[in-house]
Amino acid sequence: MSRVEAATALILEVFRLNGALLAAGDALTRDLGLTSARWQVLGAVALAGRPLTVAGAARAMGLTRQAVRRLVAELAADGFVALAPNPDHRRAALVVLTEAGQRAYAAAQERQAAWAARVTEGCESPSLRDATTLLRRLRAALERDEERGAAEA
């Protein structure tokens, strides 16, 4: 199999994996009032360790501002996040986890840890680290390619 054929097979498998991960995340968090997408937004803010703007959360997640804005509105309506004034930018409010959001995120992470242990049974840590490294390299290459394309347009 050539490198291009191997890359294509990997890309197709990543697409399938993405769908399976989203479905699993939805199932893991449904009773918490979350979906995979909502969980990702909570995670972006929680992992940043500080409030984020919608644009900052979108960058952290690799999603559009519009998609994250919609998710933040849903999360705010359900009491998982609040929007706080941004001293650096009047129009770009900061997304802050509420206590309910912190509890839901912590519960989701606890469930995810047990699930990850179960689904990676038989996988060695070095193999998982190698896979992570490869995926990061591919994502970085895609981002560079996208920047080049934008510069050429």
What pLDDT is attached to residue 151? 62
| 23 band by pLDDT with thresholds 50, 70 and 90 | very high
Please tell me the CATH code under which domain 3-121 is placed.
1.10.10.10
Give the position of tokens 């990997």. Answer: 10
Write down the domain spans for the chain: 3-121
What pLDDT is attached to residue 58? 94
Q: Is 16 left (phi over 0), alpha (psi -120 to 50) or beta?
A: alpha
* pTM (predicted TM-score): 0.86
pLDDT tens, residue by residue, 91-136: 889 999 999 999 999 999 999 999 999 999 999 999 999 999 999 9
Q: What residues are paired with 141 via a beta bridge?
A: none
32 Cβ neighbours under 8 A, 6+ residues apart: 104, 107, 108
